[in-house]
Each structure stands twice: as C-alpha cells, then as structure tokens.
Amino acid sequence: MYVFTLGREHWKRDMRITKILWAAVPAVFLIAIALAVLGPGPEREPKVRLRQIVIKSDISNREDIERARQEIEEIYEFLETGADFEQLALTKSEGPNNATGGNMGWIGMGILPKHLEDAAFQLEAGQYSEIIEGRVGDEMIYRIFLVEERRNF
C-alpha cells in the first residue's frame, strides 16, 4: 500500500515497474519450465562411454612387470577370441572400477592424460584398444579400453 504523501511522479514510475514485472515474471517462469523439461541444450563436446581393464605392477620389480605384461597380453588374446570385455574386467582387472565391469562412464576431452585420451578418442563404438602402457608413480600400468558409445563426433 502506498502512502499518498509521495508525489504523482513516483506513483507513475512505480506503476510502470509494476507493469513490467507483470509481464516479466510469467516469461521467466515459462523459460525456467522449458529449461527444466528440455534441458540446457545440446552438448557439443565430444565424449566417449568407456570401460577399461587395468593390470598394475611394481616398477622396481622386474618379475612383477613381466607378470603384468603376460597377464594383459593373455586378456587381449581372450578379447581377440570374442570374450566379453565386461566379464574380463570383473574377473581380471586391478583397476578402481573393476566391480562395475571397468565402467568409467562418459568421459569428455581434457579429463584423461593425453596419451590415454588419444587412445580412447580414436576408437569407434564397440572397438577396444591395443594394450596401453604407462607409468604412474611407482607403478607400471597396462590398460585396454573399450568404447561403448561416442557422442558429438
């Protein structure tokens, strides 16, 4: 409620603001509903849905490195003969996501180290990588990636 001591000019200005708000509030509300239903819009960044099998070894132990290399080569041979990637990840992988069949979820550019990103993003959907060798701290790590899906390529 307005106090009538305000001048006529203040009243006119307040009425213009009120009219603008009466138009703007429903428009903002409709935009918010549209964003909630439709989402923020299409994603443009390339992404891959990725699984991995990981075998680790101690970098200072030659025998452990040889064991890990033989194990990853054996897994690769199983894949070549048609074995199920997810099942091999469940039973053979030493990675942090082996309990989920090696599932890494959707990975965008810039998330993985460059050599792993290059290996993952060059694969087509349904294709698995060659053996990828890398060193992290005091461990030698061997990986095989499987790209399940690709988005925005």
DSSP secondary structure, 56-80, as one string: EEETT-HHHHHHHHHHHHHHHHHHH
Residue bearing tokens 């990840």: 89
Judge if 72 and 145 occupy the same domain.
Answer: yes
Instruction: Between 40 and 121, name the one with better pLDDT.
Output: 121
Q: How many domains does the chain have?
A: 2
Query: pTM (2 decimals)?
Result: 0.71
Co-location of 113 and 147 in the same domain: yes
Residue pair 145/85 in contact (Cβ under 8 Å)? The answer is no
CATH number of the domain that 78 lies in?
3.10.50.40
**111 and 51 both lie in a single domain:** yes
pLDDT, tens digit (0-9, with 9 covering 90-100), for 52-81? 999 999 999 999 999 999 999 999 999 999
Query: CA 117, CA 102: separation in Å to the nearest integer?
Result: 16
